[in-house]
Amino acid sequence: ILHLAEALNFSGRKVAAAWVSVPFPALHGSSLPDALCTHPDVPWKPLASCRERKGSSCFAQSVVLRGVCKERHSRQRLSPLHACESSEHVLQHYLHTVFPGAFSTCHVLEQPCYTPAPYPQFFSPCLSRQGFLLDKPPTSSPAAVESIPVLAALQSAPVLHTLLYGLYKDLQKLNTRRCASFFSAGVEHDDFQEALHKLRTLSQCYETELEADESEDEADSD
């Protein structure tokens, strides 16, 4: 993951954010183009404490989808996604549409993620054994989910500016005079200030015009 994060970053950036959809929301029997066409916005959630923003962008990303095939029966009208020759082309086309201008790599694996015991069964009763959404809830007790389709992404994205800058602001408020035991462990005050400055500089590497406007608004509120 460290090498992958390094490959996704440039221009002084070093951090990547993880996003995941567990399970990936796809109807039972639908194709990959069908599933993606029902989600004009990406259907994943951040694993880090990044504030979600509708229509967010990214600089570069690596995306992996497991357990959804392109060749399933289509329930939707034909779209540019349905015309793609392979599952990888479908996902790549979708990413280029949602994140125009971003560098995107993707991989599609037919094998799902298996969920045998002791994997917790915290799934909705509206999921099939294969982790796909059912058209309607089952009339009897649902069977245990044996596998699920999963979508995961690692992104170098502007949303990291908010996360890193927020961390910088929190550390800036720290009263180092009350941390005698911390500095007695070998950390110099100047080293701490230098690390703080590097953190702020790193956060600025992810700043766009939108994040700059939000930073100004936060500064005004302070």
Q: Which residues have C-beta within 8 Å of that of residue 145, sequence separation ≥ 6? A: 115, 121, 123, 127, 128, 129, 130, 131
Same domain, 139 and 208: no
Residue with tokens 């989910």: 145
- In this prediction the pTM is 0.81
Q: Supply angle C-alpha 19, 24, 61, rounded to 5.
A: 35
How many CB atoms within 10 Å of residue 220? 7
Assess contact for 17 and 9: CB atoms under 8 A: no
45 vs 179, which has greater pLDDT?
A: 45
Residues 79 and 185 in one domain: no
Residue 78 and residue 178 in one domain: no
Are 150 and 176 part of one and the same domain?
no
Residue 220: predicted pLDDT: 46
Q: What is the dihedral of CA 211, 216, 217, 222, to 10 degrees?
A: 130
Together in a domain, 101 and 116: yes
Q: What is the mean pLDDT of the chain?
A: 84
Predicted confidence (pLDDT) at residue 55 exceeds the cutoff of 60: no
Which pLDDT does position 218 carry in this prediction? Answer: 53
**CA 71 to each of CA 38, 136, 143: distance values in angstroms, whole numbers, following the listed order:** 17, 23, 26
User: Is 219 inside a domain boundary?
Assistant: no
CA distances to 24, 123, 158 from 117, rounded to whole Å, are: 20, 13, 38
- 164 in the same domain as 152: no
Q: Where are the beta strands (DSSP E) in 92-143?
A: 103-109, 113-114
**CA–CA gap between residue 192 and residue 8 (Å, rounded):** 28
Question: Same domain, yes or no, for 176 and 208?
Answer: yes
Higher-confidence residue of 134 and 56: namely 134
One domain for residues 43 and 126: yes
Q: pLDDT tens digits, residue range 151-165?
A: 999 999 998 998 999
- Spatial CB neighbours of 77, under 8 Å, sequence gap ≥ 6: none
pLDDT of 69 above 80:
no
Comparing 177 with 61, the larger pLDDT belongs to: 61
Residue type, 35: A
Q: What is the pLDDT of residues 71-124, one digit of tens each?
A: 655 555 678 888 888 899 999 999 999 999 999 999 999 899 999 989 998 888
Summarize the confidence of residues 198-212 as an average pLDDT.
Answer: 83
Q: What is the mean pLDDT of residues 42-67?
A: 81
| Residue 221: inside a domain | no
Domain hosting residue 2, numbered range: 1-156
Burial of 196 (0-12, 13-18, 19+ CB in 10 A): middle
- 179 & 203 share domain: yes
Number of domains in the chain: 2
- What is the per-residue pLDDT across 153-202, written as a single tens digit (0 to 9) for each? 999 999 899 899 999 999 888 777 777 776 676 677 788 889 999 999 99
> Looking at per-residue confidence, does 80 or 218 come out higher?
80
